[in-house]
Amino acid sequence: MKHAIAVTRPSADALRLLGAQIHEARIDRGLTVNDTAGRLGIDHRTLRAVEQGSPKVAIGTVFNAAFLLGVDLFGLDPEELAAARRRGEDTLALLPRRVRPRTGGDDDGIDF
């Protein structure tokens, strides 16, 4: 888990909702916390934090838990999500090079 960060109310609501969906999917599949954490390669405390919607957990860990348990992200199944990502990349490729986001390093292309 990472250090705590301040999150907006909508972000906190989204984290709690996704955590609850992950928890419900785990229960529906009859999986224990320890089994699920082991499959994800994380500690059981981290899985509990995911299910509680903690903003301290790395987003990759949360997304991995969602995919493992069959929770669709953004209302899209994995194939639809991949297609949406490709469409976004194709759209960005149409932009002139000078306005495209840079890739590589930890520069996210956001200036502020």
User: How many domains are contained in the chain?
Assistant: 2
- Other CB atoms closer than 10 Å to residue 15's CB: what's the count? 19
Tell me how many degrees the CA angle 6-10-15 measures, rounded to the nearest 5: 75
Each residue of 56-86: pLDDT tens digit? 999 999 999 999 999 999 888 889 999 999 9
* Residues 20 and 64 reside in one and the same domain: yes
Domain limits for position 46: 9-68
Confidence band of 1 (pLDDT split at 50, 70, 90): low
Residue-wise pLDDT for 22-31, tens only, equals 999 999 999 9
- Whether this prediction's pTM lies above 0.85 is answered by no
Do 94 and 58 sit in the same domain of this protein?
Answer: no
- Assess if residue 78 is contained within a domain: yes
Residue 1 placed within a domain: no
| Predicted local confidence at residue 26, as pLDDT | 98
d(CA 4, CA 80): 32
Q: Determine contact, residues 69/19, Cβ cutoff 8 Å.
A: no
CA–CA distance, 107 with 101 (Å, rounded to integer): 9
Residues 63 and 87 in one domain: no
Per-residue pLDDT band for 53 (boundaries 50, 70, 90) equals: very high
For the chain, give the longest Cα–Cα distance. Answer: 51
Residue 93: what pLDDT? 85
Query: Do residues 62 and 38 both lie within one domain?
Result: yes
For residue 50, pLDDT over 90 is answered with yes
Residue 61 is assigned to a structural domain of this protein: yes
Do 37 and 81 belong together in one domain?
no
